[in-house]
Amino acid sequence: MVSWNRSSVSSDGMDLAVFELEAPDAPADRPTAVLVHGWPDSHHLWDNVAPLLADDVRVISYDTRGYGESTRPDQVEAYRLEHLAQDLFAVIDAVSPGVPVHVIGHDWGSVQAWEAVTTPGAEDRIKSFTSVSGPNLDFLGEWAHANITRPTPGNVGRALSQVASSAYTAFFQLPVLPQAFFSAFGSEKVWTEFLHAVEGTPRENVSFAPTLREDMISGLRFYSANIREKLARPNPRPTVVPVLEVVNERDIALRPAIYDLTHTHANKLWRKNSATGHWLPYTNPTYLADTAREFIAMIENGTSSAPNTIDRARRLGPPQKLGGKLAVITGAGSGIGRETAYALAELGCEVVLADINVAGAEETATECKAKGVLSHVYDLDVSSTTAVNEFAENVRRAHGVPDIVVNNAGIALAGSALAASDAQVDRLFDINLRGVISGSRAFGKQMVERGTGGHIVNLASAAAFTPSRELGLYSASKAGVLMFCESLRAELAEHKIGVTAICPGIVHTNITSVTEIAGTDDEEGNRKRIDAFYAKRGFTPDKVARDIVKAVLANKAVVPVTPEAKFGYRSYRFFPWASRIAARQKLTK
């Protein structure tokens, strides 16, 4: 049970109920953090977050006007954002006179905190602001006008997506009807079931005020007092307060695109995206607490020591599609792995590059750093499950849990399955199949434990569904990868973790020049002929990398890359007899 000590603060004739978390064993010299809730919550929104912060910050929260134990004015005008911002300043002045505090806001708590931090002189009272699922309404209005006045298909699509997500706000501003609706259905049980249904919020250990129904109704005035005016006549103002935007990519109410213009007004802005929903304080309080604590520590100390991506989320321009993400790529020293690292770096990912060829990985890292991202190199032999597990743990400790993992490392083996040596077979399956499984399991466990989603990409091959008399063993290893991906995708879907099998066809990489060919009298000559054919084909690894990025962004399951791979994928599904006949053709002499 969370223990809060209650006090009162007067602001603009309102009596605000203020609460300080009891933490008798915590250091006395901690900085202060003020946590601000939204609709239809009270300070109890933070019951699962606050204790996780208590060792590092003195935690204060309050019931904003219209909620919980605070005054509920009847006039809509009383809920305008300028009044709510003054309430926040009054609380700060009371709990931390003369010493600026850190503010964490969710939903309307974030919206009103944005109003406060864009008020001139706010930096004298607010040292940092962590914004969760609540935009600056002036910035939002500016974004909406920009998308309407520049009606490109992309702009219109994004605008319509947000309109659909925000349709409930129009209902909330109607007279009588929304008040009647929440009078009838605003019980704690109904609200709990609704949150559980829309984004999996737990039914237990979620706290609401006894006044939940009344809060739902009085809180509707926030919408009536602010939405129409701010969207119709936005007045965006700058802020010098350091801001961290926590963007929930699965937010049912707010699309990530609406934050595109924040960087034009906040000159100390960080952004952290995750595959989470609107009610992050309920669904993953640990993740939110870790994120806020690291940001506060960074502002207090000037640097970040915890590996939770805050440092790499710094925004110096418009948000990048994968900005602030951490990506791990195996086999990153050349070929598809190298080009995938480049593609992810261009979209803002910090990259961890692993390869048994460390010198090659270092070359990849140098180019990634030139693109302005952090890059780290590890020596890794994926054929060793022990080594992969140790690598995953080292990454977690040093850099945090990755958002994207690309298990790319692989080798080829051609020729007769009967002529191959046991050592060749073991090495092939240890790298191509067991290495993929080990990497997926090690990092997949981390992603599940973190609880904020992620994506795993595994390199299969068109050989997985294109039988060939001279690629039987290689095909078997890649077919195993393909089916493993399909199965793992089903297992991890409930955790919002995507899994993709990438299936390239004929792609010219250095793998062809070192391919072992069993059962041939002219291995070197055959290898040169295969390499020359692949080179003449002209399909380069950067094209595969582009498809990998698209697969991550769209969460695709199976991606045949080259034209022959796409043909083979459909041919084997619908005309397997044709694939079997084609498989009899010899590739080598």
Of 259, 342, 474, 572, the active-site residue reads 474
How far apart CA 460 and CA 433 sit, in angstroms, is: 9
Number of helices (H) and strands (E) in the chain: give both, helices first: 22, 18
Residues in the chain: 589
Q: Distance between the two ends of the chain, CA-based, in angstroms?
A: 75
**Whether 534 is catalytic:** no
Cα dihedral 18, 22, 23, 29 sign: positive
CA distances from 326 to 135, 274, 400 (A): 25, 11, 8
Tell me the backbone φ, ψ of residue 169, rounded to 5 degrees.
-65, -30
∠ at Cα 312 (239, 304), nearest 5°? Answer: 80
- From 127, 459, 535, select the one nearest 298 (Cα to Cα): 127
Q: Half-sphere exposure of 381 toward its Cβ, with a 13 Å CA cutoff?
A: 6
Tell me the backbone φ, ψ of residue 412, rounded to 5 degrees.
-120, 155
3-class DSSP state for residue 79? helix
What are the start-end ranges of the E strands in 433-547? 454-459, 497-503, 516-518
Q: Please, where are the H alpha helices in 347-376?
A: 358-370
- Cβ distance 14 to 87 under 8 Å? yes
Q: Dihedral through CA 435, CA 440, CA 443, CA 448, nearest 10?
A: -160
3-class DSSP state for residue 259? helix
3-class DSSP state for residue 130? strand
Q: Which two tokens stand for residue 225?
A: 């007092």
How far apart CA 38 and CA 218 sit, in angstroms, is: 12
Tell me the backbone φ, ψ of residue 44, rounded to 5 degrees.
-70, -15
- Cβ distance 66 to 79 under 8 Å? yes
Kindly tell me the burial class for residue 23, based on how many C-beta atoms sit within 10 Å of its own C-beta (0-12, 13-18, 19 or more).
Answer: middle
Amino acid at 112: Q
Kindly tell me the burial class for residue 408, based on how many C-beta atoms sit within 10 Å of its own C-beta (0-12, 13-18, 19 or more).
Answer: buried
Kindly tell me the burial class for residue 323, based on how many C-beta atoms sit within 10 Å of its own C-beta (0-12, 13-18, 19 or more).
Answer: buried
Q: Dihedral through CA 342, CA 343, CA 346, CA 352, nearest 10?
A: -60
- Cβ distance 475 to 468 under 8 Å? yes
3-class DSSP state for residue 328? strand
Task: Give catalytic residue positions.
Answer: 474
